[in-house]
Structure 1
Amino acid sequence: MSPDPSRPGVVRSAADVNEEIRALWRDPRVQLAGEARAALQRLYEEWAAAVRAEVVEAA
């Protein structure tokens, strides 16, 4: 799971990452380009890892 770059060693929850995804991509009908698209991809990967970690933690 990717840590929060502003807080090294700290892992964010899926809910926190999802909030950032929603802030970045307010209207899914509008395609993102360039750096915003790359940032969205990194957030998706971080979100997926956070969900997996939360599932393992809950088990």
Structure 2
Amino acid sequence: MSPYPNTSARVRPASVVNEAIRDLWQRSGGLLSPEDETEYQRLLVEWAAAAGTSVRPAA
């Protein structure tokens, strides 16, 4: 799965994506599995697109 959102798809509002991120963290109990980490990274990119910002990995 590509970490980049599908640009032809409709972008969800940042608030909706933020809620999905919060839900993921709550479901995981604060410890992300490798699959959850992949989903989290995808959600961060989607949130950045919706918020009009960029997300860069920490150096």
Class of the TM-score when normalised by the shorter of the 2 chains: 0.5 to 0.7
Q: Measure the CA separation in 1 of the matches of 2:20 and 2:34.
A: 17
The reply to whether residue 37 of structure 1 matches residue 53 of structure 2 is: no
Larger Rg: 1
Alignment of 1:1-59 (within 5 A): 2=5, 9-26=9-26, 30-52=30-52
Query: After the TM superposition, which segments of 4 or more aligned residues of structure 1 sit over 2 Å from their partners?
Result: none
Identity of aligned residues (%): 42
Count the aligned residue pairs.
Answer: 49
Q: Name the Cα RMSD after superposition.
A: 2.5
Could you state the TM-score of these two structures normalised by the residue count of structure 1? 0.65
Could you state the TM-score of these two structures normalised by the residue count of structure 2? 0.65
Structure in which a larger fraction of residues adopt helix: 1
* Unaligned runs of at least 5 residues, structure 1: 54-59
* Unaligned runs of at least 5 residues, structure 2: 54-59
